[in-house]
Structure 1
């Protein structure tokens, strides 16, 4: 629980030391400058975590929660509560467990890091039946894979008859793509979607997790989309990949984004998602710039494979009962835009197959080092509108560099897009959606920003768990988000409005110590912020942000 005393701990930080990593010139010269993604961070971060997990007792979660175990003496996990309490159980982080206070029960029992609020005699897990009837933590999220489906995928026993029929038709060369483009879809749409003028939160790898999307929904985002999920891992029944498809019940306009290279693989995933998940649309990733994805012919590589793209569109829309949407870049290389050419191919399909095209105004080669090309986005809008097979053309959304309501409405008017997808702008200031809808600039206070982080932590503990693993996972994703949040400059400190996404601010002192702390680019200070909610980090803890970008 955040108290005045907790916040006042920020006063211990001397203002001239908050930015020590910037001020220390010797450190600047001796340390290599990070650019883009930190590719080697996984080994550094997860080595410490794995070492911690190896040294921990492997307790049975069911026994810690219910006092009984389905497997009895055959259980491979420990049931020795006395030893766990004596040697392993750490002091509680806070007095109240969010899950117990909200839902009337905590699924982690003795393992919960906030357990004293729902443990009788220090070990018996209590349940508030009245709250359990009113709210159920399990019903809040959907699209969780069942054990039966997971095993059938792993044993390659899932029935992909519909997808295989389409794949066989393509491989037999009996299918004329030109004729197929003139036909409507064979599987009717479950419901028609209207994307026009909706605020679309981009699918954001790592940081676009379910707790973050809930925050953005509360601030006014209309459309949300899950993080990019790899087709191969979905078909293998990977638990971590299926977690990317989860949907919170508050996400009323929700899609999943998948990444793959072959029509057969993508059609199987489309069938699987249609049959096992509750989604409103499926988004095909055609913009991922990562080398590993690109070399396999997926992501932005699909922009150069038009014939394969046509086969993918036909395959996926022949088995799915929800619209297919496409997210792409301007092209692969910096000075060679090809999105208009891809759009001229895509527009030949009827709009009951393609629900939306989203165009990010940068190429794969550019990444984030240049401003988004909204002039080119406007050219693509004209290309799409001038010649479409339907009287109503496929809607097109633009994306790139929108961080204020002024920029949003200026881009909407000048480019002619049907809407805008917001990515980094939402990471830096998730209240941007409120600013856009209310057409105002919000001078949000440091205490209000602290409340947002507290809410994210609570949602994280609900989503990932309140045991040690869940706490540390929540901490990790909180830190990943703070690596973007610190870039926000308080409105009251700006000489001119609005703040631009590509402008790196000079060092500054906030209006109070907490605001100054929030502006720190130092990982140590981010960890300090996380400790205000999640307690002290383990001794072996290590965090390296996924993006230490020179593009800011």
Structure 2
């Protein structure tokens, strides 16, 4: 008899071994500490241990270990001889005399590793498993196909591409020449090109603190008082600190979408810049004959999300390739990984990569976190300017429970500061224009002290939120208890009651927590009255959950069908991260991250009772075939081997460490 909380696997599939350790989703939230592993022998592990064996850390140790997953290292793997990107793409390098990279294509190709082969969709059903991949030496080498070239008609990595044979030809003298498919390039211009790429000029303005923020500045002046003087803080008031770029009048800056030429007329450029700032300042302030010329709440773009499926924003694993995979399974709404407002304003390349959107993402949002009113409003303003037309909503994170975020006053900490939260939402709403602001929150901060039922009715009519998502747990609960869907219903009823009493426009409300099947999804919607369920952990473990929800069935997906999904993820990863050595191994890393969740799936055909429950932990079991057994392996070395089926052998210098030793993930609330 299996103990409570264990998945009820049929007896014929059970293995007579000790049960594997259950992944700890609370540990994966990112407290900065790692549970003691007495088998490691690493004194650093002992220093980070928790519980009765906790050791007091020195100040230096605390600083070195602050943050999550400090032990994970994913250094970039480069070619033995790096080739200049410009030359690799078939262009001339503008800085050939100063460029530190190689420009000799024949020399690069002489030492470059052999081409890899990416399998085609039909090949996955006949692919041998890792360990049984002996190739007949007499057989002709398979045709090399580049996923990026096949998708777009050209490969931006040129000679650096590890699938070079798919887009190169040689002339009579043996000189290599890159190939382009002009017809395909024209056809896929609107269907395969990622959106929301910030210009290098705008990044420079942000980094040098010269980007104009007239709307944020005007809103800040309103908060300080109509006479423009600083408000005197009291013991209970909120001190609003402005970022550096708001201390003085914004310096003139060229329009971000336009890249200035090197021979531009500085006087003409200055006049263009002044006109830009003047126009945006006029947009920020009401006209003399209009008390309030801004976009009102009732005039905001309305979000019609009823009946749509929503993939939650997920740190690390919720990247663009994973979102594309979920879209292919039926996800309607997607949201980028959580970004920090100060990092957006600093022009961080890493932070701005989080807003990239694939054309297949039909409804796409950006999630932002922070605690300072000026920073969040300014970040919303720059998102509206730089991603106009590429963002359907901006989500304010008021639910992230991790200590690193909470202690700065961000995430779930905003739930205890409703005054500040209201100012943030109002300011972001004004800065975003027609783009709606949505809010993601938890039921409260402390266990047993739910507060969302008081806050949620105010978010729309008073603060201007266009949609609300409520995770059915407090910040303190993390994942120690099941989500409270009865309380979610109470909150939904409170919002709908105010909308009815005051004849307010209806805003979408999504719930979240423990959704792992089509049955869970529709039962939660029917019982609570939400417009839908935001799916997080369920999508990580089984991305095909969106197909189940759309078709109202429990899909007993086969191992080969699951492998097809893994292949699509690899293809999307190469298209996004790149087909050169660095991009290939970035794809390898994130594919292994995805497999570190998917292994937790127990096939429906192996279960005694349905539906499966997300918190049930599987005993050791074998699958119905060899591949199904491999996909259920909790050994990270097996995840690397699965990735090698699509990405070739991992470099000797490359290794994969699961996120926290629990193989869990860092949710955003």
TM-score by length of 2: 0.73
| 2:154 is aligned with 1:105 | yes
Question: CA offsets, 1:345-370, max 9 Å, x none?
Answer: 425427xx211110001122222232
Unaligned stretches of 5+ residues in structure 2: 1-13, 23-35, 51-64, 118-143, 232-290
The residue aligned with 1:3 is none
Cα displacement (A) at 1:401:
0.5
Structure-2 change in CA distance of 1:390 and 1:246 (3 Å): farther
Please say which of residues 384-393 and 260-269 is displaced more in the overlay. 384-393
| 2:562 is aligned with 1:452 | no
| 2:534 is aligned with 1:421 | yes
Cα displacement (A) at 1:81:
2.6
| 2:330 is aligned with 1:306 | no
**Contact (CA 8 Å) 1:187, 1:319: kept in 2 or not?**
no
Question: CA offsets, 1:178-208, max 9 Å, x none?
Answer: xxxxx99822656322122221111111111
Alignment of 1:112-123 (within 5 A): 112-121=161-170, 123=176
Structure-2 change in CA distance of 1:316 and 1:433 (3 Å): same
Aligned residue among 511, 526, 535 for 1:398:
511
The residue aligned with 1:170 is 223
| 2:73 is aligned with 1:45 | yes
Distance 1:119 1:17 in 2: 53
Question: CA offsets, 1:61-116, max 9 Å, x none?
Answer: 110110522333333322133432334x1122212111112222111111111112
Structure-2 change in CA distance of 1:438 and 1:284 (3 Å): same
Where relative contact order (Cα < 8 A, 6+ residues apart) is larger, the structure is 2
The residue aligned with 1:474 is 587
Question: CA offsets, 1:387-440, max 9 Å, x none?
Answer: 345434433211011111111111111112122111111111111111111111
Distance 1:18 1:93 in 2: 38
The residue aligned with 1:72 is 96
The residue aligned with 1:8 is none
Cα displacement (A) at 1:123:
4.1
The residue aligned with 1:380 is 491
The residue aligned with 1:358 is 469
**Contact (CA 8 Å) 2:195, 2:356: kept in 1 or not?**
yes
Distance 1:515 1:184 in 2: 62
TM-score by length of 1: 0.88
How many pairs were matched up? 522
| DSSP-derived class of the 1:412 partner | helix
Q: Which consecutive segments of 4 or more residues in structure 1 shift more than 6 A?
A: 15-23, 32-35, 173-176
Distance 1:174 1:378 in 2: 45
| 2:244 is aligned with 1:220 | no
Distance 2:563 2:599 in 1: 12
Cα displacement (A) at 1:136:
3.6
The residue aligned with 2:445 is 332
The residue aligned with 1:156 is 209
Question: CA offsets, 1:475-526, max 9 Å, x none?
Answer: 1111111111111111111111111000001111101110000001110111
Aligned residue among 177, 195, 198 for 1:145:
198
Cα displacement (A) at 1:269:
1.2
**Contact (CA 8 Å) 1:195, 1:356: kept in 2 or not?**
no
Cα displacement (A) at 1:153:
0.9
The residue aligned with 1:408 is 521
The residue aligned with 2:462 is 349
Distance 2:445 2:523 in 1: 27
**Contact (CA 8 Å) 1:369, 1:551: kept in 2 or not?**
no
The residue aligned with 2:312 is 202
Please say which of residues 232-241 and 184-193 is displaced more in the overlay. 184-193
Aligned residue among 364, 367, 371 for 2:482:
371
| DSSP-derived class of the 1:391 partner | coil
Structure with the bigger percentage of helix:
1
| DSSP-derived class of the 1:92 partner | coil
| DSSP-derived class of the 1:74 partner | coil
Question: CA offsets, 1:139-179, max 9 Å, x none?
Answer: 52100011111111111111111111111111227799xxx
Cα displacement (A) at 1:59:
2.3
Distance 1:382 1:392 in 2: 15
Q: Report the RMSD for the aligned CA atoms in angstroms.
A: 3.0
